[in-house]
């Protein structure tokens, strides 16, 4: 079957700006530029925007997936005559100003790559095969199903060793994702599972948080790290700092200088890397695979190709010589700066270098517990938790989604429970290979 040329997008007098990725960076650029003289085409492999910071709540049954996703076609439509195409971008041919997608080819005048990041397994195929990632909504739903399926299996098994492996949860990576997930799982055990799984000895359910360095929340202050450690320990999470996972075969987690932990639930939150596609290999940083950009987010050696957000690596900023953190505010601010620069290019004005304004960072560890680092000061506890709730709520795209999240959070808070524990689509874990 012949694929449609230019994805059935009509030719136009206006320069065509193709934005690949409807994440934080992509949707901000659309919002900033829609009134201007570009024919804007947004391409994403999903037909929705994902609010990744709350994926862990979907995985632990605190929120419905719909609350953290927003239809990209609806988002784009509100800005008028813009185009959205559901397609996976496979490669770019910069010399022809052309991208190749799963649905056909498309010419561009300007290309913005905002494809974000993907999970980094550091080349370990076993970890990639057997651990659970949590970067997308399908992955979060798989994890939710796996947690519930394994507890159901733990009830019926006669083998105590198997039961323990089904009830051991190992989270790898002590960054915000690992910390938030560990706190949520420990609270599920305390408030929900203890009530509902009375035929299991819930004291046997163990949550391990394994981190390679000597502290949690590497990107945050020492105070936040220590406070988080104390919060998690009070919740019964077993912290394993300075511990490196060597391997996992689907049954045993092998940790350097430690006895292996039997577990059927290993969650990988220990690394991300850029998610570019073929055609720009010469401009990819190693080993992060992020695209090297100049101070204007222009991809090295390409006049009309830009990269913003997690996929971009800008090294020129003296405050961030190794590149900016892979967080939503960087993606949003880069998109805003690029929108101004794209207009400056069309009016032949001098471009403005990107300067990151750090607005602080935060993590929540569970009910009433969070840590917040603002430039110059730190706070923790209930107030920090309220700030965390407010900031996350206001950042979700769409009024209906915000309202759904608020109502769900309120209900979870007053009931110490949520009813979002349905195994609608069972997860089929990969079977460990048997040697010999
Ligand atoms: C679990 C988790 C928790 C997080 N928590 C926080 C937090 O608390 N605070 C914070 O600031 N940041 C957090 N982050 C990081 C934050 O989500 C990212 O920094 C942010 O999403 C980056 O935005 P982006 O637009 O660059 O990429 P993304 O938001 O990842 O968007 C990329 C888009 O590109 C699309 N795409 C990718 N490749 C292709 C392709 N080849 N073809 C077509 N489409 C493609 C994807 O479908 C996606 O829609 C978290 C991330 C995760 C995974």
Helices (H), 157-206: 160-167, 176-187, 194-196
112, 29 contact by CB (below 8 A): yes
Question: Considering only CA atoms, which residue is closest to atom 23 of ligand 1?
Answer: 24
| Pocket-testing residue among 7, 20, 21, ligand 1, by greatest number of atoms within 8 A of Cβ | 21
Question: Considering only CA atoms, which residue is closest to atom 17 of ligand 1?
Answer: 52
| H helix and E strand count, the chain | 12, 24
Q: Answer with the one of 221, 250, 270 that is the final residue of a domain.
A: 270
Taking only the tens place, the pLDDT of each residue in 371-381 is 999 988 999 99
Q: What confidence score (pLDDT) does residue 257 get?
A: 87
| CATH code (residue 301) | 3.50.50.60
Q: What confidence score (pLDDT) does residue 436 get?
A: 42
Q: Answer with the one of 232, 249, 270 that is the final residue of a domain.
A: 270
Instruction: Identify whether residues 130 and 260 lie together within a single domain.
Output: yes
Distance from residue 133's CA to the centre of ligand 1 (Å): 14
> What is the extent of the structural domain holding 326?
5-45+87-119+272-346
Distance from residue 56's CA to the centre of ligand 1 (Å): 14
- Which residues lie across from 111 on neighbouring strands? 18, 305
Q: Is the peptide bond before 260 cis (omega within 30 degrees of 0)?
A: no
- Our count of domains for the chain comes to 2
Q: What confidence score (pLDDT) does residue 383 get?
A: 96
**H or E element, residue 57:** helix 55-59
Instruction: Identify whether residues 131 and 266 lie together within a single domain.
Output: yes
Taking only the tens place, the pLDDT of each residue in 140-180 is 999 999 999 999 999 999 999 999 999 999 999 999 999 99
What's the rounded Cα separation, in Å, for the pair 131 and 243? 17
Question: Considering only CA atoms, which residue is closest to atom 38 of ligand 1?
Answer: 115
Q: Which atom of ligand 1 is nearest to the CA of 335?
A: 25
Taking only the tens place, the pLDDT of each residue in 215-266 is 999 989 999 999 999 999 999 999 999 999 999 999 999 999 899 999 999 9
Distance from residue 95's CA to the centre of ligand 1 (Å): 28
Q: What confidence score (pLDDT) does residue 3 get?
A: 64
- Angle among Cα 245, 250, 252 to the nearest 5 degrees reads 55
Q: Which atom of ligand 1 is nearest to the CA of 277?
A: 41
Q: Answer with the one of 270, 301, 325 that is the final residue of a domain.
A: 270
**Domain contains 385:** no
Instruction: Identify whether residues 266 and 157 lie together within a single domain.
Output: yes
Which regions in the chain score pLDDT beneath 70?
A: 1-4, 432-436
Q: Beta-strand (E) ranges in 290-340?
A: 291-293, 305-307, 312-314
Instruction: Identify whether residues 179 and 248 lie together within a single domain.
Output: yes
């Amino acid at each position: 079957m012949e694929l449609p040329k230019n994805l059935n997008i009509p030719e136009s007098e206006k320069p065509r700006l193709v934005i690949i990725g409807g994440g934080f960076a992509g949707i901000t650029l659309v919002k900033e530029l829609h009134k201007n003289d570009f024919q804007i085409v947004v391409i994403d492999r999903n037909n929705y925007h994902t609010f990744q910071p709350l994926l862990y709540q979907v995985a632990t049954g605190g929120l419905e997936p719909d609350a953290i996703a927003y239809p990209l076609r609806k988002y784009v439509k509100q800005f008028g005559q813009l185009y959205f195409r559901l397609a996976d971008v496979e490669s770019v041919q910069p010399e022809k100003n052309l991208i190749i997608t799963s649905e056909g080819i498309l010419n561009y005048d300007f290309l913005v790559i905002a494809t974000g990041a993907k999970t980094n397994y550091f080349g370990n195929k076993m970890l990639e095969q057997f651990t659970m990632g949590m970067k997308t909504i399908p992955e979060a739903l798989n994890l939710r199903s796996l947690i519930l399926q394994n507890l159901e299996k733990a009830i019926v098994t006669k083998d105590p060793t198997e039961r323990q492996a089904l009830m051991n949860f190992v989270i790898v990576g002590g960054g915000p994702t690992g910390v938030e997930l560990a706190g949520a799982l420990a609270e599920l055990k305390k408030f929900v599972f203890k009530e509902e799984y009375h035929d299991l000895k819930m004291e046997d359910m163990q949550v391990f948080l394994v981190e390679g360095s000597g502290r949690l929340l590497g990107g945050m202050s020492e105070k936040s790290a220590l406070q988080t450690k104390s919060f998690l320990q009070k919740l019964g999470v077993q912290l394993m700092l300075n511990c490196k996972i060597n391997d996992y075969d689907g049954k045993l987690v092998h940790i350097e200088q430690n006895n292996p932990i039997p577990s059927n639930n290993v969650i990988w939150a220990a690394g991300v890397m850029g998610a570019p596609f073929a055609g720009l290999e010469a401009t990819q940083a190693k080993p992060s695979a992020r695209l090297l950009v100049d101070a204007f987010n222009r991809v090295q050696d390409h006049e009309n190709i830009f990269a913003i957000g997690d996929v971009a690596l800008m090294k020129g900023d003296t405050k961030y010589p190794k590149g900016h953190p892979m967080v939503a505010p960087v993606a949003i601010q880069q998109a805003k700066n690029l929108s101004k620069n794209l207009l400056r290019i069309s009016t032949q004005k001098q471009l403005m270098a990107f300067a990151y304004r750090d607005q602080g960072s935060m993590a929540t560890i569970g009910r009433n517990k969070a840590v917040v680092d603002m430039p110059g000061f730190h706070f923790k506890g209930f107030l920090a938790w309220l700030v965390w709730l407010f900031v996350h709520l206001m950042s979700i795209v769409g009024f209906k989604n915000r309202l759904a999240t608020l109502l769900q959070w309120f209900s979870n808070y007053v009931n110490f429970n949520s009813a979002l524990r349905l195994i609608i689509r069972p997860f089929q874990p990969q079977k460990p290979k048997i040697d010999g």
